[in-house]
Amino acid sequence: MEKDKVVNIQPLMNSQVENQFTQQIQEDFTQKNPDHSALLHSLETVEVLDVLSDYYTAHEKQKHPKKETAPSNKNNGEHKEIKQAIRYIKKNIHRSITLEEVANYVYLSPFYLSKLFKNELNINFINYVNEQKMLYAKEQLEKSDWAVHTIAKNLGFSRASYFCKVFKKQFDMTPKEYRDSLK
């Protein structure tokens, strides 16, 4: 293979990782694995793939700088701190996450990180975190038989009632109603 030639394996990797990730989550659920080692291994794999994807994207931008004539899309997360914050949130989705904690992780003030989130992603920090948690919760409701309060606890919610409120706000139905709609 030529030194400068880069092959875009991102779509292939995404589907393979998604399948592997889902399979490992299922293993954790069926084996009632308390330390979720398969899940944590999958999250580490996803993090590595995110880094590779960032490298590929940066390499392509360097290779073809004149092709970018359209204004940059704010949903792409142009700031590296936003990408780091998103990775951190994904990696720690299973617990309560604060703006201050993530700001410290990416070496920004909470105010500035909050402003970046709003400008780059058109959503405030806490709503983004809750949106990601609800997408994960929806997946767990589809693929597991865990009780709603267990899923809430696994996502860092101290009260199942608040989890249900956030879920209903996101999807216009309670977690139980969602699970029942799948039958």
Residue 86, in any domain of the structure: no
What's the pLDDT at 153? 93
What's the pLDDT at 140? 93
Could you tell me if 61 and 108 lie in one domain?
no
Verdict on whether the full-model pTM lies above 0.85? no
Residue appearing with tokens 């991102």: 10
Q: Which of 48, 65, 82 is the last residue of a domain?
A: 65
CA atoms within 13 A on the CB side of 176: 6
Q: Which of 65, 83, 118 is the last residue of a domain?
A: 65
What's the pLDDT at 6? 45
Could you tell me if 103 and 168 lie in one domain?
yes
Long-range contact set of residues 137-142: C-beta below 8 Å, sequence gap at least 24: 137/163, 137/167, 137/175, 138/167, 138/171, 138/178, 141/175, 141/178, 141/179, 141/182, 142/179, 142/182
What's the pLDDT at 70? 37
Total domains present in the chain: 2
Asked if 25 and 42 count as a contact pair (C-beta separation under 8 A), the reply is yes
Residue 76, in any domain of the structure: no
- Spatial separation of the C-alpha atoms in residues 14 and 80, rounded to whole Å: 21
Segments of the chain scoring below 50 in pLDDT:
1-14, 66-77
135-162 pLDDT per residue, tens: 999 999 999 989 999 999 999 999 999 9
Could you tell me if 57 and 104 lie in one domain?
no
Could you tell me if 60 and 142 lie in one domain?
no
Could you tell me if 105 and 157 lie in one domain?
yes
69-81 pLDDT per residue, tens: 333 334 444 789 9
Could you tell me if 115 and 166 lie in one domain?
yes
Structural domain that includes position 51: 1-65
Cα of first residue to Cα of last residue in the chain, in angstroms, is: 50
